[in-house]
């Protein structure tokens, strides 16, 4: 997740394609920031359930229902409706995620560890099959050019 206006508070959750680690980043207007990455490599070709939460200055990252990292984050506002927010793009219109996303949710509050686990364990009937989808087929064609 990213946004288009980098001159005020913002939050970024990303995937480092070079290391396979997940990145949590918060920044305030004066470019003061807190950034950290997970210890593990998740570039394994498998689906992962990823959750980033923040409560005050405490950031947490969960992968597949388990807490994998807890670090200090910037507290306060992380931006609102004053800018465009992007999923699977770097916000500069030149970088896109090579992969697929399913069931993206944004909450106005911090989730508890039990809620993260419940979301991970839910076996809804809306599972995505990532083959023969028009958007993915088009993406593979564009990537090969």
pLDDT per residue as tens digits for the range 101-138: 778 888 888 999 999 999 888 865 445 555 555 556 66
What pLDDT does 116 receive? Answer: 93
User: How many domains in the chain?
Assistant: 1
**Long-range CB contacts (< 8 A, 24+ apart) of 114-119?**
116/51, 116/53, 116/62, 116/65, 117/65, 119/49, 119/51, 119/65
Q: Range of 60's domain?
A: 2-144
DSSP 35-55: EEE-SS---SSS---EEEEEE
pTM over 0.85: no
pLDDT in tens, 43-84: 888 888 999 998 988 999 999 999 999 998 888 777 655 666
């Amino acid at each position: 997740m990213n946004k288009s206006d980098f001159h005020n508070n913002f939050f970024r959750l990303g995937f480092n394609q070079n290391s396979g680690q997940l990145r949590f980043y918060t920044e305030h207007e004066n470019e003061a920031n807190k950034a950290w990455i997970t210890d593990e490599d998740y570039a394994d070709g498998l689906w992962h359930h990823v959750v980033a939460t923040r409560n005050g200055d405490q950031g947490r990252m969960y992968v597949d229902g388990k807490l994998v990292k807890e670090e200090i984050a910037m507290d306060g506002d992380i931006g609102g409706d004053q800018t465009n927010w992007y999923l699977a793009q770097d916000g500069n219109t030149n970088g896109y995620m090579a992969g697929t996303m399913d069931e993206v949710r944004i909450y106005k509050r911090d989730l508890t560890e039990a809620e993260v686990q419940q979301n991970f364990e839910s076996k809804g009937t809306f599972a995505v099959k990532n083959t023969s989808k028009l958007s993915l087929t088009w993406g593979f064609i564009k990537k090969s050019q």
